[in-house]
């Protein structure tokens, strides 16, 4: 009827604003493609000043714009790189200001190459370009370190093996352990803090960063850029001892020395006492040989110059000096022995106090004063004895003249009873008494037969 009347009704129109349409498309895409994986090759990588990555995923017949924001990019195992075939995980989003859709990347996995290995190679190239692997910047290890710092886990076999080896090879070393996580969350920060502690304190002569073997994931802490830069900036030489002999980490390339295992690091950092003594003996032998060679060379030169006669005179003069030195040494030894014997008892009393003080300088001065005092004392004592002897001789002569013993020389005797009493009267004793008769020379033991009054 309407057609017959010539009237045509059009369907009701819905007019979208551009922003409204983009929002609707965005809602549809997010609902349909909220969590997808896309395979392609990375191309046109751009890194903004804010730290966001912009790149394109492409294959033989198409391409897809991609965005990876800074907060996500920091957790990627490797950074986007042109020409790398990857699997990208994320969701489709619409960039409304331009009306284009793009993949918001949340994870990347390389195709044909492990993510960790790719990250390893990327960081290795970066640090090598900065010169952190150059041999010229690496420092030699100390020959005989007295203090060794170790950054590793305080539990497990690694630290026990290292301590056993160090104690066996060179007992008495000072060892300080900085306990650190070596795997998992927080391990990078812990290892960096340990390295920085020894670098800032200056306590250690050498630092060992150690960990036992494991997979590349287990060892990844030592492939982190923060750990590598901490080792490179350490003021103390660093030995990297991570994993087994076939394991290589970024820390190995940056460190001043790589040890294939933690146990090897303990053997590398210090020699044994026997090796040290052997090297000293070898050096002494070489020194003697060198001196003999030099002396022989100089002797030949002197002979060639016709100075044999001068040499003989010189040797004769030196022999005379040496003999004089020997004589003076003998005299000095005798004098010193006498002085030391005199002072020994006094030194014993002072020994305990002297041990608590550093008296080397005082003792040297005291020894000089003692030697001077000894010489003066000897002279004074000799003078005093001579004077006393001169006074004593006339007194001794006078005493001898007054001595009752002079009477005995003329034939008299002194009679004493058993108690030592001198008898002057015969009535002071009785028969059968024991008496002692003192003569000019000797004594007589007598028995009284009888007594007679005067």
Residue-wise pLDDT for 73-124, tens only, equals 888 877 888 778 888 999 888 887 787 888 999 988 877 555 667 778 888 8
Residue 309, pLDDT score: 66
Q: For the residues 204-229, what does the mean pLDDT come to?
A: 88
Instruction: Calculate the average pLDDT of the chain.
Output: 83
Check whether 142 has a pLDDT greater than 50: yes
Domain 146-270: CATH superfamily is Cobalamin-binding domain (3.40.50.280)
Residue whose tokens read 């005797």 = 413
Instruction: Indicate if the alpha-carbon torsion angle 343, 329, 360, 378 is positive or negative.
Output: positive
Which stretch, 137-141, 288-292, 403-407, has highest mean pLDDT? 137-141
Higher pLDDT, 164 or 423: 164
**Res 443 pLDDT > 80:** yes
DSSP letter, residue 82? T
The pLDDT of residue 267 is above 80: yes
Q: Is the pLDDT of residue 179 over 90?
A: yes
When comparing pLDDT for 14 and 255, which is higher? 255
User: In the prediction, which pLDDT does 232 show?
Assistant: 93
Residue 193: pLDDT above 90? yes
pLDDT at 86: 85
Three-class SS state of 421: coil
Q: What is the DSSP string of 259-306?
A: -SSHHHHHHHHS--HHHHHHHHHHHHHHHHHHHHHHHHHHHHHHHHTT
Instruction: Flag whether pLDDT at 238 surpasses 90.
Output: yes
CATH 3.40.190.10 is the classification of domain 18-113: no
Q: What residue spans define the domains of the chain?
A: 18-113, 146-270, 275-303, 409-447
Question: Regarding beta strands 174-179 and 206-211, do their DSSP bridges make them parallel or antiparallel, or are they unpaired?
Answer: unpaired
CA distances in angstroms from 311 to 318, 322, 333, 452, listed in the order given: 10, 16, 32, 100
H/E stretch holding 391: helix 360-402
Plot region of 116 (φ>0 → left; ψ -120 to 50 → alpha; else → beta) = alpha
Please state, in angstroms and rounded to a whole number, the distance separating the CA atoms of residues 67 and 55.
7
Share of the chain above pLDDT 90, in %: 21
Instruction: Dump pLDDT digits (tens) for 381-402.
Output: 999 999 999 998 888 888 877 7
Select the highest-mean-pLDDT range: 127-136, 243-252, 270-279: 127-136
> Per mean pLDDT, which range of 45-59, 223-237, 403-417 is the poorest?
403-417
The pLDDT of residue 8 is 55
pLDDT at 227: 93
pLDDT band of residue 1 (cuts 50, 70, 90) is very low
Q: How many residues does the chain have?
A: 454
Please state, in angstroms and rounded to a whole number, the distance separating the CA atoms of residues 35 and 90.
5
């Amino acid at each position: 009827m309407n057609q017959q009347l010539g009237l045509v009704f059009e369907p009701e129109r819905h007019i979208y604003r551009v922003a409204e349409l983009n929002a609707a498309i965005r809602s549809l895409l997010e609902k349909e493609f909220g969590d997808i994986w896309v395979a392609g090759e990375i191309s046109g990588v751009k890194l903004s000043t804010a730290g966001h990555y912009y790149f394109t995923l492409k294959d033989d017949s198409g391409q897809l714009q991609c965005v990876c924001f800074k907060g996500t990019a920091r957790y990627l195992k490797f950074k986007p790189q042109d020409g790398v075939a990857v699997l990208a995980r994320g969701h489709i989003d619409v960039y409304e200001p331009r009306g284009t859709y793009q993949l918001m990347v949340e994870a990347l996995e390389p195709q044909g190459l492990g993510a960790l290995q790719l990250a390893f190679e990327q960081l290795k190239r970066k640090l090598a370009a900065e010169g952190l692997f150059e041999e010229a910047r690496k420092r030699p290890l100390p020959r005989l370190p007295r203090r060794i710092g170790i950054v590793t886990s305080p539990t497990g076999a690694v630290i026990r093996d290292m301590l056993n080896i160090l104690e066996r090879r060179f007992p008495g070393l000072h060892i300080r352990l900085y306990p650190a996580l070596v795997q998992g969350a927080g391990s990078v920060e812990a290892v960096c803090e340990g390295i920085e502690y020894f670098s800032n304190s200056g306590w250690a002569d050498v630092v060992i960063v150690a960990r036992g073997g494991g997979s590349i994931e287990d060892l990844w802490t030592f492939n982190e850029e923060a750990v590598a830069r901490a080792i490179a900036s350490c003021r103390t030489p660093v030995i990297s001892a991570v994993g087994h002999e076939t394991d290589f980490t970024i820390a190995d390339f940056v460190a001043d020395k790589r040890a294939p295992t933690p146990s090897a690091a303990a053997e590398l950092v210090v020699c044994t006492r026997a090796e040290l003594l052997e090297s000293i003996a070898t050096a002494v032998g070489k020194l003697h040989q060198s001196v003999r060679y030099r002396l022989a060379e100089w002797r030949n030169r002197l002979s060639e110059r016709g100075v044999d006669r001068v040499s003989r005179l010189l040797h004769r003069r030196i022999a005379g000096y040496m003999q004089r030195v020997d004589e003076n040494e003998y005299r000095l030894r005798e004098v010193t022995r006498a002085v030391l014997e005199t002072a020994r008892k006094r030194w014993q009393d002072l020994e305990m106090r002297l041990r608590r003080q550093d008296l080397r300088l005082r003792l040297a001065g005291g020894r000089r004063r003692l030697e001077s005092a000894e010489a003066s004392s000897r002279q004074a004592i000799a003078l005093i004895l001579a004077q006393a002897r001169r006074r004593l001789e006339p007194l001794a002569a006078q005493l001898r003249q007054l001595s009752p013993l002079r009477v005995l020389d003329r034939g008299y005797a002194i009679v004493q009873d058993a108690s030592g009493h001198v008898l002057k009267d015969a009535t002071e004793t009785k028969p059968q008494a024991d008496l002692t008769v003192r003569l000019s020379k000797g004594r007589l033991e007598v028995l009284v037969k009888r007594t007679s009054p005067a």
